């Protein structure tokens, strides 16, 4: 009798817990539980998972954040292209790309698949990390090679004006010659991802050395910065997104807004966070010329080793909401005035951010 009574008690406790989670007392229960525990409960069983969004809604109502939470959820869904039926390019496999050539006198390069585990880099990370690795070398004559190429490319052959909407990927880089690269940092570029034909890109990111700087104590120090494409920066007006470290892995998201921005350019919101090493993140908004997406390129401008993973590009045909200037269909029509204006607007953006 005692054994059967124990079984009935255990069974009723389990039922009572489920009824409590599904019933009217769930609100005071949610008020007591920490957020991490609430996020863990749906893992217990399917019945708890069925109540997951109801409990999230109750928490939002309790804290007065229902409007903000709903807006954030719908915004996240919008950036998947659900309503506008965005097309997708999945660049996670080597077969999805074509070779992007590099002249022999600028140095050799090779591309391959690679796999990293926690033993290779650090305990914290997206393990196992599958990636595409591009190793770029200097010319054999001892000079320094510089070229927008030597890696992987995806060409989008379309008669339509294609607008890029969103780009996500993760990357890692290694400088193969630190002493040389910091001598002329503006001539260097690692782990470059660019949008548009090589040499005539309208947007992208790359890693650039800082150069040799004094730290105020009479010592020299160097670092690396993730930069917006073609900033033509000087020490005074450069706008790095964040400092990045060789060997660490970072995830990147770019969201492109094609609406009118100060008359001529679109804006790109760039957010970056570390996946290994110290937790850090960076975020900036940049301007881009509204031009059609015809190519996506991965490469190193100078000798280095870069790895890319989970490259995901969302794009669609131009819509009436996508404002553009007359003549922008011509891939070579980007004028110097646009370049100068972009840099001036970028400096104004930075000054506004520093004054807040």
- Secondary structure in 3-state letters for 126-187: CCCEEEEEEEECCCCCCCCCCCCCCEEEEECCCCCCEEEEEEEEEEEEECCCHHHHCCCHHH
Residues 179 and 309 grouped into a single domain: yes
Residues 326 and 217 grouped into a single domain: yes
268 contact partners, CB below 8 Å, separation of at least 6: 203, 254, 255, 256, 257, 285, 286, 287, 288
Locus of tokens 């709903």: 70
Residues 162 and 244 grouped into a single domain: yes
Domain with residue 161: its CATH number is: 2.60.120
Residues 35 and 184 grouped into a single domain: no
Query: Is residue 250 scored above 90 in pLDDT?
Result: yes
Domain that holds residue 55: 2-78
Mean pLDDT of the chain: 80
More confident residue, 33 or 194: 194
pLDDT bucket at 328, cuts 50 / 70 / 90: very low
Residues 155 and 227 grouped into a single domain: yes
Mean pLDDT highest for which of 117-121, 143-147, 280-284?
280-284
Final residue in a domain of this structure, among 33, 61, 78: 78
Final residue in a domain of this structure, among 26, 59, 78: 78
Sign of CA dihedral 39, 42, 44, 48: positive
Q: What share of the chain is helix, strand, coil (3-state, %, to 5)?
A: 30, 30, 40
Query: Is residue 330 scored above 50 in pLDDT?
Result: no
Residue 26 confidence (pLDDT): 72
Q: Is the pTM of this model over 0.85?
A: no
Average pLDDT over residues 213-238: 70
Residues 6 and 141 grouped into a single domain: no
Task: Tell me the two tokens of residue 173.
Answer: 């880089």
Residues 57 and 155 grouped into a single domain: no
What is the tally of structural domains in the chain? 2
Lowest mean pLDDT among 38-52, 214-228, 281-295: 38-52
Tell me the three state secondary structure of residue 101: coil
Query: Is residue 64 scored above 70 in pLDDT?
Result: yes
Query: Is residue 263 scored above 60 in pLDDT?
Result: no
Residue 42 confidence (pLDDT): 75
Answer whether 249's CB lies under 8 Å from 274's CB: yes
Residues 308 and 198 grouped into a single domain: yes
- Among residues of the chain, what percentage have pLDDT more than 90? 40
Residue 101 confidence (pLDDT): 94
Final residue in a domain of this structure, among 27, 55, 78: 78
Residues 92 and 220 grouped into a single domain: yes
Residues 70 and 98 grouped into a single domain: no
- Tell which residue, 239, 213, 208, 202, has the closest CA to residue 225: 208
Residues 148 and 19 grouped into a single domain: no
Q: What is the pLDDT of residues 70-93, one digit of tens each?
A: 777 777 776 676 666 799 999 999
Helix (H), strand (E) at residue 39? helix 35-40
Ramachandran angles phi, psi of 52, nearest 5°: -60, -50
Exposure string of 312-334, with b = 16+ CB inside 10 Å and e = fewer, is ebbbbebeeebbbeeebeeeeeb
Residues 163 and 209 grouped into a single domain: yes
Helix (H), strand (E) at residue 277? none
- Among residues of the chain, what percentage have pLDDT more than 70? 75
């Amino acid at each position: 009798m005692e054994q059967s009574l124990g079984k009935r008690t255990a069974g009723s406790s389990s039922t009572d817990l489920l009824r409590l989670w599904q019933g009217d007392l769930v609100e005071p229960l949610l008020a007591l539980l920490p957020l991490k525990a609430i996020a863990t409960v749906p893992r217990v069983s399917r019945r708890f998972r069925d109540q997951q969004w109801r409990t999230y809604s109750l928490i939002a109502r309790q804290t007065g954040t229902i409007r903000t939470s709903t807006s954030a959820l719908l915004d996240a869904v919008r950036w998947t292209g659900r309503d506008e039926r965005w097309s997708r390019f999945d660049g996670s496999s080597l077969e999805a790309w074509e070779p992007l050539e590099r002249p022999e006198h600028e140095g050799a390069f090779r591309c391959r698949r690679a796999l990293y585990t926690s033993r290779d880099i650090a305990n914290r990370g997206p393990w196992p990390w599958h990636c595409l690795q591009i190793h770029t070398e200097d010319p054999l004559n001892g000079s320094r090679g510089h070229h927008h190429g030597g890696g992987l490319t995806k060409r989008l052959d379309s008669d339509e004006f294609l607008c890029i909407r969103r780009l996500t990927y993760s990357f890692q880089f290694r400088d193969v010659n630190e002493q040389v690269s910091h001598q002329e940092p503006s001539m260097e570029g690692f782990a470059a991802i660019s949008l548009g034909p090589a040499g005539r890109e309208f947007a992208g990111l790359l890693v650039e050395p800082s150069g040799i700087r004094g730290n105020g104590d009479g010592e020299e120090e160097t670092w690396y910065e993730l930069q917006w494409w073609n900033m033509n920066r000087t020490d005074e007006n450069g706008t790095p997104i964040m400092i990045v470290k060789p060997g660490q892995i970072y995830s990147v998201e770019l969201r492109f807004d094609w609406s009118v921005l100060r008359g001529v350019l679109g804006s790109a919101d760039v957010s970056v966070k570390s996946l290994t090493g110290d937790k850090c993140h960076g975020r900036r908004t940049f301007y881009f010329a509204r031009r059609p997406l015809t190519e996506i390129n991965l490469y190193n401008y100078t000798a280095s080793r870069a790895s890319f993973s989970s490259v995901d590009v969302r794009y669609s045909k131009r819509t009436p909401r996508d404002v553009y200037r007359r003549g922008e269909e011509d891939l070579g029509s980007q004028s110097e005035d646009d370049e100068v204006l972009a840099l001036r607007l970028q400096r104004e953006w930075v000054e506004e951010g520093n004054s807040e």
